[in-house]
Amino acid sequence: MNEVPKTVWWDDVPCLIDQLRLPAMLDIVRCEDLNSVIEAIRSMQVRGAPAIGITAAYGMALAAKRSTAQTSSKLIEKLVKAKSLLDAARPTAINLAWATQRMLDIAQANAQLEPDQLRQRLLAEAETIRDQDEAMCRAIGQHGKTLLAQTRNVLTHCNAGGLATAAYGTALAPIRAVHEDGQPIHVWVDETRPFLQGARLTAWELQQAGIDLTLITDNMAAYFMQQGHVDCIIVGSDRIAANGDVANKIGTYGLAVLAKAHNIPLYVAAPTSTIDLQTANGAAIPIEQRSTQEVTHIGQQAIAAEGIKVAHPAFDVTPAHLVTAIITEQGIAYPPFAEQLHTMVEAANAANARQ
């Protein structure tokens, strides 16, 4: 099987696949300063909650590297400012703030080190975050494949594959796992308007991996459900509230309602770093409002009349009662979610503390 190239890595500076150029071209972006990291996140050259978190962790390491601070206390002051700038780049994906906070915590816990030693420690922590993400995704795949034992046709929305993570994916991880086991599997890929992550990224990833797929427009999903051609839906998430409400790419809530109407299970796959126990429910999750041009244009080509009113919420929230199960690296949670999610986060935190 052909593996998707790693999405984000460190080569003297943060490097990443430019997802705006796929599938036409596989280009690499080198982020030479903090502003270029922020712009890569904001413009969606890198996207997907886990990949954004990894990039932000590398951004913190880069901010430390570029800082001329002569003391660790001054360096930490610079990192506090860098965290604030990074966190504002995309507000819905909790992995971003989770990663920058973890990096800041490491800096503050090691304030006794000399500045250059602290810089090295921060880069090591960013590398650990990247490595842990890939391990978590592979664990999600192993847990999630048990839900696909009798499944032939899966529908997915947006891109929650290797390009959205360190390498292996969240929603695509169980699909990859059953494919690697030799089980026949077919994926309906929503194109995912308006940014076309499904058409541009997920279809490309699955094709590279040799997994059978069919690309459809978002408004075809109900038809294929009605015809009995969808066995389950698997999506990723940018933030999961403490009660199990799920924020994900706009259109996920509509799929959840359709799934309920057709008695089709909806699975959410995400690492525990996506679970936000400080947010009680989905109503408290900030929803990013993106550029209207992403709706009125495809690439540089206008598809709507100039001057019309346009709305573009980038995410919606699926209530927990429409979610069949949440798959994490710690296992599978079923409704009611609150206690299980809390236990999973505690277990993940304890495992990270031991490493």
Q: In tens digits, what is the pLDDT along the chain, a chain of 355 residues?
A: 455 568 999 999 999 999 999 999 999 999 999 999 999 999 999 999 999 999 999 999 999 999 999 999 999 999 999 999 999 999 998 999 999 999 999 999 999 999 999 999 999 999 999 999 999 999 999 999 999 999 999 999 999 999 999 999 999 999 999 999 999 999 999 999 999 999 999 999 999 999 999 999 999 999 999 999 999 999 999 999 999 999 999 999 999 999 999 999 999 999 999 999 999 999 999 999 999 999 999 989 999 999 999 999 999 999 999 999 999 999 999 999 999 999 999 999 998 877 6
Task: Tell me: is residue 200 an annotated ligand-binding position.
Answer: no
Q: How far apart are CA 28 and CA 47, in angstroms?
A: 14
Task: Tell me: is residue 48 an annotated ligand-binding position.
Answer: yes
Q: What structural domains does the chain harbor?
A: 8-137 (1.20.120.420), 143-354 (3.40.50.10470)
Q: Is the pTM of this model over 0.85?
A: yes
In the chain, which residue ranges form alpha helices assigned H by DSSP? 34-43, 49-66, 72-87, 94-109, 115-144, 172-180, 197, 203-209, 221-226, 252-261, 293-296, 338-354
Task: Tell me: is residue 53 an annotated ligand-binding position.
Answer: no
Task: Tell me: is residue 49 an annotated ligand-binding position.
Answer: yes
* CB neighbour list of residue 210: distance below 8 Å, 6 or more residues apart: 1, 2, 179
The answer to whether 243 and 285 are in contact (CB under 8 A) is no
> Which residues belong to the active site?
238
Task: Tell me: is residue 102 an annotated ligand-binding position.
Answer: no
